[in-house]
Structures are given as C-alpha cells and as structure tokens.
C-alpha cells in the first residue's frame, strides 16, 4: 500500500489536500506538525484540525505530530506532544504514528493489552546512519505491544539496505514493520518493501515535495513502478549510475514490462563510485547477492561504464571490443558485461543514412563516442574523432584504427555526417551551447546528436537552418534499451511502447521546468 503525507499549513488546506491525494494513495498521513498556529497552543490547534479531517477523510488516515529532531516540521516540546497524543488517541483515526521516546509514558496510560496499541505505529528516525544490529536496535527501542513499528534510517552504504531487509524478513513478526531507507540506495525499501511484508511505503507529500530523502511521488510509485502489484516473485532490473534522477530508463523499461504483462520492475539506483563494488556484490552478483529478489539484469551509466569491468566474470565480444559496459547480464552464477550502446546508436543512424564508405566525424572521446566509433568502423565508415583531450582520442585511434584531430580542426565540408557524442547542449550541462561553431557545419549531409534532452539541441537547430538532415538521441536511447530488454527477458521489446513512454516522460519534465 502507498501512504501519502499531507503537509498543509491550515485546516482548510489540509482538507483540500486530502481529497487530491486520495486519488493515488491508499492511506493518508496527516502531518499535523505542519500546521501554522496563531493564538491556540499547537496541541489544541492540531487536535481541532484532526477532528475536522476525520469527519471528511476519503481514505484511512495515520496521524502524525512529529518533532523536528525526528523529521518533523516544527519544534515541539515533549509535554506538548504528550498532551496532543492523550487527546488524539481518543479519536477514531485508523492509525497513530508516535515516536519511540513517548512509548514509555503512554504505557502508563494504556496497558500493553489495551486495544489502542493495535492502531499505534511506534517510529524512530535516524538521519545519520543505520544501526549495525538493526534487529537488536529495534527490540530495544520498540515495545512489543505496538501494532506496527517503523524504522527510518539514513543509508550510507549498500549493506545498510541489506540489514533493513534482514530485519523485515526475520521470522514471523509479532508486529507489522515498516523499514524506510532514506537516500538514493534506500529506493529498494520504498518500492519493494511492501512486496516483502512492509505494511506500506511512504510517498512524497501530496504536493510532490519529498519531506524525507528519497521519497517518490505516489503516482510514480503506483503507475511507473506498479508498486501495489509487486510481490516476492517480481524480477528486479535497474540502473547503476550517479546521478540517475534524470534518466528516462525507468519510464521506458517499466512501460514495456507492463505492456507485456511481465512481473518485472526496473529501479534506478544512485550508486556513487565508492559504493559500486559493494553494490554489485550485495545487490547484483548471483554468487554473493544478499537482497532477497531475483535479478534479471542491470543497466550501467556514467561514471561506471569502465569502472564496473573488474567486478564482472566476463565480457561479451562487443563489450570487450568497445572497452565499456552499459548492460549487466545474469547467467547462472556469472555476472556478464555487455554493450548495447553500439547497436542502439547505429540502428537509428543506418535506418536513415548511408555510412559505408562515407567520411564521418565524431565529436568527443568518452563512453558514447566509443560505442559510435566502434559501430561506424564496423559498418565501413571512414571515421575521424575530434576532441579536446587528444590523449583520450588517441586511445580510440589505437582501439579502432580511426583518425583523431583537435576539436577546432573540424570542418563540415570534409565529411558526409557528424555525430555529437559530447554532453554539450544537454539540459543542465552547457545548456544552449553548440559543440562546434554553427558555420562549421556547412557541407554536411546529416547531423546526429546523442543528446536527447532537449531533443532539438542547439547543434540540430543550427543544422536544420542549413538544410542538413538531423537525428536526435531519443531513438538511440530507446534502441539500446530495447536491446537490453530483449537480452534480459528473451522477449521482443515493444519499441513503440518504449518510445511513447520516453516521449511522455520528456514532455512531463519539460512542463515541470
């Protein structure tokens, strides 16, 4: 189930937000610590707002009145909180989320056998770390009479998530549990927690704001990740990179899984370089994986396309030739590195333009350039790589037998086609810039920009003004994803569905900005 926090400054705003959030939420968390009070004391104002909300609640509610030290939105003294709860526990709310430091004084009011405890969630937030002994910490912190216990902790390394799932799965629980991993790697608890027994997962606030690190909008949890449909048979795929928030891969792959009715989910995992080895060991590799689900495969993006290689059992011939990996395959006990960027980059290009025997310029010498140069060389093009870093470009020359030159030496009149494999012009990176002076494009027949956000980059705009045929990077993104999908699932990828999903996601992001 999905629980959406309602963060509103006034009782009227609280009522309006409940109605809107109920469209995608199963439960509503009334964050009464967000209310802005005037003359009344916080407990009495919150109590009045609670009663109004309960009379009009469209979904079951969990009541929260959290102090700032535990992730709340205001300073609340312990006496204020106790006064609020002694009143609130008399109401008909379906659940109450009470911090663990109040469990002992409330036990003086309500004996462990009192039925109110079945509606109480005893929670604890640690924004610095995850306890080494999660089970021991929980046993010492939470009273056995609590109907539900929630432990929300900062995730500093992949092992932290493994220990949270160990706690969640540790025998038949006397109480229901909600483990919450805060931060990028904690996304596993947010998407897969309920599939493994967590009472629910918390979405971002009703207005889309993440009020704890790593929260996802309820609509995304429900529709993109299909969180309510996931179970212990769900096969997990995903993306390893840093950053990953901008990626469209989750939209593309999850749309394809849904279209074909496959019990798979694709999860982007923020993986900083220092965590890559442990992430692969604990989450991905079939011989050492500690997390409980079956892994179907992973995508790999920057900055890990070459760094991942030492952790793999072997490479496919294509990945070995390119010297970079963008796809992880699981075969028996082996973790195999593959590369679908080559096929992904070349298929849209060769469907539109002739490259065999043609002179083609490639801008850049990074991972994208490697794939393009490999594909062009194998297709019989005469390739010249133009780059600022001639050392990196020389490595491409040695690997693929192509020419290299300084970036400022490029002239369109010398080539039939141009491929931009640099990030210049991408939203958020040199946005609005062109990787070469527009007048240098004169003489080209076509221009291909691997950047897909925006689809019409400054380079392609300049090319179009000169009558040069243009190809953007979105077809490559979809084509390489389709190749991954087919290799993981052994099913033909529904590329029209994947492209439509990518276009919808791009349009939504453009509208949001």
Q: Cα dist. 373→137, 326, 367, 420 in Å?
A: 54, 16, 10, 11
Q: What are phi and psi of 17, to 5 degrees?
A: -65, -35
Q: Cα dist. 63→12, 98, 221, 486 in Å?
A: 17, 9, 22, 46
Report yes or no: 399 and 455 within 8 Å, Cβ to Cβ. no
Report the candidate in 203, 102, 95 with the shortest Cα–Cα distance to residue 148.
95
Cα 202 from Cα 152, distance rounded (Å): 11
Cβ count near 114 (within 10 Å) = 14
- Neighbouring residues of 319: CB distance < 8 A, sequence distance ≥ 6: 325, 327, 337, 338, 339
Catalytic (active site) residue 177: no
Strands (E), 185-247: 201-202, 235-241
Cα 478 from Cα 443, distance rounded (Å): 29
- Among residues 177, 250, 305, 440, the one annotated as catalytic is 305
Cα 253 from Cα 239, distance rounded (Å): 11
Name the residues annotated as catalytic: 305
């Amino acid at each position: 189930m999905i629980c959406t926090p309602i963060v509103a400054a006034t009782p009227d705003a609280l009522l309006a937000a409940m109605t809107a959030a109920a469209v995608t939420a199963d439960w509503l968390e009334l964050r009464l610590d967000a209310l802005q009070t005037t003359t009344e004391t916080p407990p009495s104002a919150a109590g009045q707002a609670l009663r109004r909300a309960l009379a009009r609640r469209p979904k079951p509610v969990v009541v929260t009145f959290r102090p700032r030290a535990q992730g709340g939105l205001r300073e609340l003294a312990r006496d204020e909180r106790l006064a609020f709860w002694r009143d609130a526990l008399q109401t008909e709310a379906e659940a109450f989320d009470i911090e663990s430091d109040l469990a002992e004084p409330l036990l003086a009011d309500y004996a462990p056998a009192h039925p109110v405890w079945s509606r109480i969630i005893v929670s604890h937030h640690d924004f610095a770390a995850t306890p080494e002994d999660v089970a021991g910490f929980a046993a010492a912190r939470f009273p056995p009479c609590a109907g539900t216990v929630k432990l929300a902790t900062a995730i500093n390394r992949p092992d932290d998530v493994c220990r949270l799932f160990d706690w969640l799965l540790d025998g038949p629980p006397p109480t229901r549990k909600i483990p919450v991993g805060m931060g990028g790697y904690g996304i596993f608890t947010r998407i897969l927690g309920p599939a493994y027994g967590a009472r629910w997962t918390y979405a971002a606030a009703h207005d889309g704001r993440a009020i704890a690190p790593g929260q996802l909008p309820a609509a995304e949890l429900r529709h993109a990740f299909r969180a309510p449909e996931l179970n212990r048979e769900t096969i997990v795929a995903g993306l390893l990179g840093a950053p990953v928030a901008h990626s469209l891969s989750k939209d593309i792959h999850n749309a394809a899984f849904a279209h074909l009715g496959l019990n798979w989910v694709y999860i982007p995992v923020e993986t900083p370089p220092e965590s890559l080895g442990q992430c692969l060991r604990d989450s991905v590799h079939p011989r050492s994986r500690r997390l409980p689900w079956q892994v179907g495969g992973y995508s790999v993006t920057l900055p890990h396309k070459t760094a991942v290689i030492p952790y793999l059992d072997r490479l496919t011939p294509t990945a070995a030739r390119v010297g970079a990996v963008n796809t992880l395959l699981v075969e028996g006990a082996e973790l195999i590195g593959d590369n679908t960027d080559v096929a992904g980059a070349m298929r849209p290009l060769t469907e539109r333009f002739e490259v065999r025997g043609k002179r083609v310029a490639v801008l850049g010498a990074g991972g994208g350039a490697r794939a393009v140069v490999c594909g062009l060389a194998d297709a019989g093009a005469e390739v010249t790589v133009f780059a600022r870093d001639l050392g990196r470009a020389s490595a491409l020359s040695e690997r693929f037998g192509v020419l290299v030159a300084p970036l400022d030496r490029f002239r369109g009149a010398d080539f039939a086609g141009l491929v931009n494999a640099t990030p210049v012009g991408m939203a958020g990176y040199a946005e609005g810039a062109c990787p070469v002076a527009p007048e240098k494009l004169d003489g080209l027949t076509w221009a291909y920009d691997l950047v897909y956000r925006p689809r019409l980059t400054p380079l392609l705009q300049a090319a179009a003004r000169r009558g040069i045929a243009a190809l953007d990077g979105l077809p490559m993104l979809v084509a390489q994803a389709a190749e991954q999908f087919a290799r993981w699932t052994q099913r033909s990828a529904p590329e029209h569905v994947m492209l439509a999903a990518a276009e919808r996601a791009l349009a939504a992001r453009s509208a949001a900005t």
